[in-house]
Amino acid sequence: MPNDLAKQEKYNDLEEFVQSLSETMTSPTCKLCNSSNRKAAEAEYERTSNASAAYRFLKDKGEDISNAAVSAHINNHYKKSQVHNNLKEFASDLAKWSQLSNDDELLYTRFVKMLNMEANLLQAENASLPLPERRRNTELILKIGQQITVFKTELKKLQVEKRPVEIFVDTLNRIIRVKMADAQNQETKKVLADLVDQLVREVEIIPDKFKDKEEA
């Protein structure tokens, strides 16, 4: 895997990186990879969570593939393909999610500021208004105050939703940094460093949080 990473010079974003991962891993020396019953055997494994069941399924189909070879295929080719596909899905969700959440966050923040300013202006006018108008004005200020609370509640909800993603990125960031420290190859180190930078940018996490770690 580090060798595969080192081959690629630079990825523009996380999505581009995951797109470089193969959806279906195929080894020229693996019998099951090259069998026409591959998909059906993998489905049998998926159904039973048992590599031996996939082996028996293939045997019934008249395929001469050993139990050990079927297990090796499940672990080295099928499961890795799944990890790649999960990563691809995650990257695509993350891209959509961060777009949406940033938009909403900006929108709510803008509304809160705008309404707050409006309430203050109305408040300042109050003293000079005749009583009936002053009453209406005060009612309006109260309504604006309620709406500000609604937007602030939405903002808080967004921040709570963001937590799992932050924790995920934090963990991934830590794992990659350990890998970087272990990597012998400078090119690999560079690719991993780019990946961390991209990850941080992708989810727009407060950079300061990561800067400290980078310098440490």
Question: Cβ of residue 60: shortest distance to Zn ion, in angstroms?
Answer: 19
Region 110-129 residues binding Zn ion, contact defined as CB under 5 A: none
Stretch that binds Zn ion, among 33-41, 93-101, 131-139, 157-165 (CB under 5 A): 33-41
Region 168-207 residues binding Zn ion, contact defined as CB under 5 A: none
Judged by beta carbon, residue 56 or residue 152, the one nearer Zn ion is: 56
The full 3-state SS of the chain, as one line of letters, equals CHHHHHHCCCCCCHHHHHHCCCCCCCCCCCCCCCCCCHHHHHHHHHHHCCHHHHHHHHHHCCCCCCHHHHHHHHHHHHHHHHHHHHHHHHHHHHHHHHHHHHHHHHHHHHHHHHHHHHHHHHHHHHCCCCHHHHHHHHHHHHHHHHHHHHHHHHHHHHHHHHHHHHHHHHHHHHHHHHHHHHCCCHHHHHHHHHHHHHHHHHHCCCHHHHHHHHHC
- How many amino acids of this chain bind Zn ion (CB under 5 A)? 5
Q: How many CA atoms lie within 13 A of 139 on its CB side?
A: 6
Return the residue of 33, 122, 155, 180 that touches Zn ion, per CB under 5 A.
Answer: 33
Stretch that binds Zn ion, among 22-30, 81-89, 150-158, 188-196 (CB under 5 A): 22-30
Question: Cβ of residue 38: shortest distance to Zn ion, in angstroms?
Answer: 8
Return the residue of 77, 188, 196, 210 that touches Zn ion, per CB under 5 A.
Answer: 77
Contact flag: residue 30 with Zn ion (CB under 5 A): yes
State both tokens at 129. Answer: 């208004």
Judged by beta carbon, residue 81 or residue 137, the one nearer Zn ion is: 81
Question: Cβ of residue 44: shortest distance to Zn ion, in angstroms?
Answer: 15
Return the residue of 57, 73, 151, 188 that touches Zn ion, per CB under 5 A.
Answer: 73
Question: Cβ of residue 45: shortest distance to Zn ion, in angstroms?
Answer: 12
Site of interaction with Zn ion (CB under 5 A): 30, 32-33, 73, 77
